Structure 1
Amino acid sequence: MLGAAEVSPLRAYIVLSLLTGARTEELRALRWDDVDLIGAPGVTPPLPPSISVIRSVRIGGDTKTRKSRRRLGMPQRCVTVLRDHAERPGADTSPNALVFATRTGSEMDAHNVRRSFRKVAADAGLNAAEWAPREMRHSFVSLLSDSRMPLEHISRLVGHSGTAITEAVYRQQLRPVLEHGATAMDDVFPVADP
């Protein structure tokens, strides 16, 4: 998917969505003053580059819940694509400008984002009809779960009020707990090879 996004106008949007787990309605409301491309590397402990998720395109402009307001550290790939995105011709990077905007500077419409996203999915060889921008968030959860990140951390990163919500919404993406129990017991009570 990331390779197919290289030439897409949604490149930075897709990379940020996949690597931070931000909701699509949160990214569509992201403003440049919510973005810190430098962080504070000189403090102890160092602060990474980050985005502040404090609004969305929902009615009233608020995030889905209070816990959805969060600061997300950005991997270097996000910093690089956002710098490239800021340097594109005609980009408005004034503090109050939207990071992902239409040519006129207004909020991107969900339908247009979905249509552009599905083109990237098709270019990646995926069945575009089965993919929507929210799939990046699901993939984010899957990748963290597969990396053995604790559910509590995943829950905080995606802005849920607790792990029960994360488990209910992403049960398909989370590694089954049964697997962890069996693995732990095999380690405690190993079976000798015959």
Structure 2
Amino acid sequence: MAKVRKRVLPSGEVRFLADYFDGSGKRRSKQFDKRKDADAYLVKVRRDLQLGVHVADSASLTVREASRLWLDRCADDGLERSTRDAYDQHVRLHILPLIGAKKLTQITTPSVHTFADDLRSGGCSPDMVKRVVRSLGAIFGEARRRGYAATNPVSDAQIKVGDRRKNKRPDIPSKADLRAILNAAQGKHRALIVTALFSGLRASELRGLRWDAVDLKAGVLTVKTRVDAWGEFGPPKTSAGERDVPLAPIAVTTLKQQRLAIGANGPAGLVFPSDEGTPLNHQNIINRIWDPLQIGAGLYTLHETKRDEDGEPAKVTRYNFHALRHAAASLFIEQKLSPKRVQTLMGHSSITVTFDTYGHLFEDAEADQTAVAEIEARLLRE
């Protein structure tokens, strides 16, 4: 039977003990300063016992202990190293300093909101707040699976991470800039730039592309591998990442030239290998290929204060490498491909991602004008 008992400590202070038996018949108790808090706790315990989800404070883990179980589970599940490292940073840099010592049973939905507020006030970006809170939810999910937590307070938290109206549209190169890029892309790295532009592959997918996934006769490449930041091969980010992508004639031609230049049986059979035959390093693509190409194409501005090694104003390039992927999507959409087809070609996990990123490109200004003119005509006729 659950009941509240008054207890007088040797110091003379009064405490109220909430006494009860858990689902396994083990006697449990928790001490409170006020009777009303003890009564409220027992009400919650009775409800949780009826639902079969009660976990006593003494049987619960700290957030620190639960975090370690979750990170171990991520490793056992074979998540990519970059993903595991990101999760480890969420835990080590953000979760443990703020709530690592707390028991899981002490974390409530209101305290999740407080945690998110503390992250924001500590300088975390809205996107980072969202990622860290999501990781906290995953920690609770693993704890619940193991029976160390009764509920997941993160699932009921409505965390606002910023005004969506402030989200910028992707920076898509103009056609004039794309032509300048193609004209400047010469030599052994031309095939990389052309393929990126006309296929929309992610940089990691380009770096992991092998010749056995390229059918030059049919003009199609198959995305089935990617290379992470440490040069390790793995599957695409999601199951939707595995896809067939048609190649424009210019891409087929440049890939044929690439195959003649390097052969198809080199180390790992890579389409775009480094000079050592290993996957290209992403930062090297930026520093040694992409940025010099843009400078050669005149796509840069001069920095007001920074200087290069010659003492001249530093040249700041206009686009990041991902802009080629955005350009490919814009060209697909311009050709009136359906949103679902664009989602497939881009390897997006859902159509929502496609619309969130490129929804404005599906707009038809001429059709909109025709529609509002018809609305006006119908209104005035009546």
Q: Which band: TM-score by shorter chain?
A: 0.7 to 0.9
1:10 touches 1:117 (CA, 8 Å); kept in 2?
no
Deviation sequence 1:38-96 (CA, Å, 0-9, x none): 02xxxxxxxxx2111001013661211100101111111111000111122xx131284
- The answer for the alignment partner of 1:111 in structure 2 is 283
TM-score (norm 1): 0.81
Deviations 1:5-30 (A, max 9, x none): 0x243210110111011111101000
The residue aligned with 1:182 is 368
For 1:142, the aligned partner's letter is: S
Larger radius of gyration: 2
Q: Closer, same or farther in 2 for the Cα pair 1:190/1:13, shift >3 Å?
A: farther
What is the TM-score of this pair, normalised by structure 2?
A: 0.43
1:57 aligned residue: 227
Instruction: Give 1:177's aligned amino acid.
Output: E
Residue 3 (structure 1) aligns with: 183
Aligned equivalents of 2:332, 2:281: Cα separation in 1:
29
In structure 2, the residue matched to 1:93 is 264
Is 1:13 equivalent to 2:192 in the alignment?
yes
Indicate the percent of aligned positions where both proteins have the same amino acid.
27
Q: 1:120: Cα distance to partner?
A: 1.0
CA contact (8 A) 1:8 1:120 kept: no
Q: 5+ unaligned residues in a row in structure 1: which ranges?
A: 40-48
Larger relative contact order (Cα-Cα within 8 Å, sequence gap ≥ 6): 1
Whole-Å Cα distance in 2 between the matches of residues 82 and 98 of structure 1?
12
> In the TM superposition, what is the alpha-carbon distance from 1:121 to its structure 2 partner?
1.3
Change (3 A) 1:148 1:136: same
Output the amino acid matched with 1:68: G
TM alignment of 1:25-174, pairs within 5 A? 25-39=204-218, 49-58=219-228, 61-88=234-261, 91-94=262-265, 96-115=268-287, 116-127=289-300, 129-171=317-359, 174=360
Q: Which amino acid aligns with 2:204?
A: E
The 2-side partners of 1:148 and 1:113 are apart by 32
Q: Which amino acid aligns with 1:168?
A: D
CA distance in 2, matches of 1:56, 1:166: 21
Paired residue total: 177
Q: Secondary structure at the match of 1:52?
A: strand
Letter in structure 2 aligned against 1:56: R
Contact 2:333 2:362 in 1 (8 A): no
Q: Is the 8 A contact 1:20 1:72 kept in 2?
A: yes
Q: Segments of 4+ in structure 1 off by > 4 A?
A: 186-191
Return the structure number with greater helix share: 2
